[in-house]
Amino acid sequence: MNVTESPPYQFLDWDTNFFGFRIGRANINRLDSASLALLHQWQRENQIRCLYFLANADDRDTISLAEQEGFHLVEVRLIFERSLKDWQPQSRPVAAEGIVIRPAQTADVPALQEIAKNSYIDSRFYFDWRFPESKWQEYYAFWVKKSCEGGAELALVAEMNGEIVGYITGQVDRVKGEAMYELTGVKESARRLGVGQALFRSGLDWYFQQGISYVWLATQGRNVATQRMVQRNGFITRACQLYYHKWFS
């Protein structure tokens, strides 16, 4: 293996400490007999309870091996992308009147965490019953807190009538001149009112003003609402992947 390459399997300290059992991640997207043999050896040596594996959806052999090995399909992941060369912040559509978008502040965190707890029932953790609901809700609540306290370069909130009703976060790779969206959440009572669109388009405005020329995001195949939203804003599909959790007794 080249010294610059990532190891095929990696122990995840943060996830392990947070969820309370040993978790690892595969840094490969394909399986064969050799990588499976290495997986079993590595799992025994590291006492891994759960492995995250993101597979290429177009690899028949990998999917077949994953099924034979008891990998649990938890998510169809779709990657969408868009060039911002033709994005026009001054003339793009306005989702709805009365929605105020502003940068997130530390004081917003408690309200945003409450929104986060009810915003990710499409996530892979929700669809894997081995992850307790209280823990994955806490996981996203912690993530949005970290993002709004400096962990994300983009962190916007939406207000309606003075009430916080949503947020969006993202990261920027200034070397590549590209960005990605990470988290989006809208309060249940404010959904279907244009809040998500307003946040999403305001994020694109911010990326454009930062000189970013390319944006991408990942969402679940079951999350049709988000797919429709990003498609309305000129995003197209870049890739389709399959997310598995492999559990070991």
User: Does residue 249 lie in a domain region?
Assistant: no
- Domain span at 139: 81-240
Print burial letters for 14-48: b (CB count within 10 Å at least 16), e (below 16). ebbeebeebbbbbebeebeeeeeeebeebbeeeeb
Query: Are 205 and 136 in a shared domain?
Result: yes
The whole-model pTM stands at 0.91
Cα-based distances in Å from 102 to 46, 93, 208: 45, 18, 16
Encode the chain (249 residues) as per-residue pLDDT tens digits: 454 578 999 999 999 999 999 999 999 999 999 999 999 999 999 999 999 999 999 999 999 999 999 999 999 999 999 999 999 999 998 878 899 999 999 999 999 999 998 899 999 999 999 999 999 999 999 999 999 999 999 999 999 999 999 999 999 999 999 999 999 999 998 898 899 999 999 999 999 999 999 999 999 999 999 999 999 999 999 999 999 999 998
Structural domain count of the chain? 2
148/103 Cα distance (integer angstroms): 9
- Structure-block tokens of residue 202: 């305001």
User: Does residue 18 lie in a domain region?
Assistant: yes
Checking DSSP bridges between strand 72-83 and strand 99-103, what pairing results, if any? unpaired
Nearest to 92 by CA among 80, 104, 84, 100: 84
Query: Are 116 and 184 in a shared domain?
Result: yes
Query: Are 179 and 119 in a shared domain?
Result: yes
Query: Are 119 and 232 in a shared domain?
Result: yes
Name residue 82's beta-bridge partners: 215
User: Does residue 248 lie in a domain region?
Assistant: no
Query: Are 211 and 165 in a shared domain?
Result: yes
Query: Are 221 and 113 in a shared domain?
Result: yes
Within 10 A of 71 (CB to CB), how many other CB atoms are there? 21
